[in-house]
Structure 1
């Protein structure tokens, strides 16, 4: 004869298991809803490239453009690019295609340029993606940098790879303590705009302590934060006094001049 106590115990277990299943289902559903909500919010907050930026992604005019899963490469048609090659980390919440005009302008001046695509358009989730670029052409020399938040994480990469990186550059960006280059022999370039309404000037001034002794500073008159790329006016930014084309041309000239000087 079966023990009635055991039968009662098994009977009581069934409602408990059902309650646990329901709780797990509801927890899973809430997590899914939260993830979907975050992705929708990120999509709405993301700055997308203008048509002029998308047009710069087409090969032609002396520049070949090749898109890969983690980056887009811009290089002179001849394939004989000048050294060093340029690795570019986009600003936070800005789609990488927005920087195609700047990358093309640098490639027109003879350098190979890689614009990196970041997970969720945030460099913090893809800070080491330069690894794949360098592995593709280990014989090249590289400078790394980026715009705004992209520059912060480019600095962290440079700080961890002082024997691989030949220079670091920052467009409306700064170096935090996590990427300090103050004790590094790596040369650096800081490019800012006089009409930038987004970059925290106080933090930028404080962060100069994290830069190497060999740092070049360039301030572009009339340039704002948003026109380092072509994605429209960023929230909080000031109106520029120069056109996007003039700002991009000035940035490309300053970056190229610095690379030529650093390579001497």
Structure 2
């Protein structure tokens, strides 16, 4: 009898927890999600959408490269918010897979890149991410020291110390930041340089900000960009393509 009462209380407690969790999820989805701008949504029309990612593929006659980018979005940012620069990179010959993650929170699906790798025809992969997505991308690369992962792309992001990559001599890394970014923790970013290969390329987009690495409007606590979102998107694409085309 006593055990029955305890069981009922535990079930009631579990029910309350589930209700609170569902409410929190609904709140994040309705109020806290950074949604793609209409311009980004239009750019996403060029991609193939699946339940797991947006796939931006080069045109048949554009000379498709053998390296694909697999990208983790920033926290609570809709995946298609990265469609503008992803489309431009794909037009240069490099397929781009922008991953979809539960609640738009990459930490929940840290191995989601596995699906894109499996479905891609490429033989080499650059794993990338924006902000928290870059932290997840770094962790994925650290846990998969395979020859087919040849690069790491960090947009306003850095690895955690536990995902030390400094000794990965076969790993190319491009770290892009923006001069007006007030979200990126600069002290942590500088410290994390010790955990990346010595030949990592560090570049700053002058006038850009944190939210400008996607196209989803203003982000809380961010700095004011002095260039347009379109200009920052072009700068991102140009720098990624130039880096990928390196000898």
TM-score under structure 2 length normalisation: 0.93
For residues 66-112 of structure 1, give each alpha carbon's deviation from its aligned partner in whole angstroms, at most 9, with x where no partner exists: 11111110012217412311111100111111111121111122211
Tell whether the 8 Å contact from 1:193 to 1:225 is kept in structure 2 after alignment: yes
Q: CA RMSD in A?
A: 1.6
Aligned length: 243
1:123 to 83, 106, 109: 106
After superposition, what is the alpha-carbon deviation per residue over 1:176-214, rounded to whole angstroms, capped at 9, x for unaligned?
113221111101111010000100001100110011112
Report the Cα distance in structure 1 between the residues aligned to 2:101 and 2:121, rounded to whole angstroms. Answer: 22
Residue 149 of structure 1 and its aligned partner are, at CA, apart by 0.6
Give, in angstroms, the shift of residue 26 of structure 1: 2.3
- The match for 2:53 among 65, 71, 76 is 71
Matched, 1:33 2:19: yes
Higher Rg: 1
Separation of aligned partners in 2, 1:238 and 1:245: 17
**2:202 equivalent to 1:217:** yes
Which of 66, 77, 95 aligns to 1:112? It is: 95
Instruction: Output the TM-score relative to the length of structure 1.
Output: 0.87
Q: Which runs of 5+ in 2 are unaligned?
A: none
Cα separation, 1, equivalents of 2:187 and 2:14:
43
2:193 to 208, 211, 227: 208
The alignment partner of 1:56 has SS state of helix
Matches within 5 A, 1:42-57: 42-43=28-29, 44-57=31-44
Map Cα deviations across residues 119-169 of structure 1 (whole Å, 9 max, x no partner): 121111111111111122365211111110101110111112222211101
Distance in 2 (alpha carbons) for counterparts of 1:169 and 1:116: 14
Alpha-carbon distance in structure 2 between the residues aligned to 1:255 and 1:17 = 62
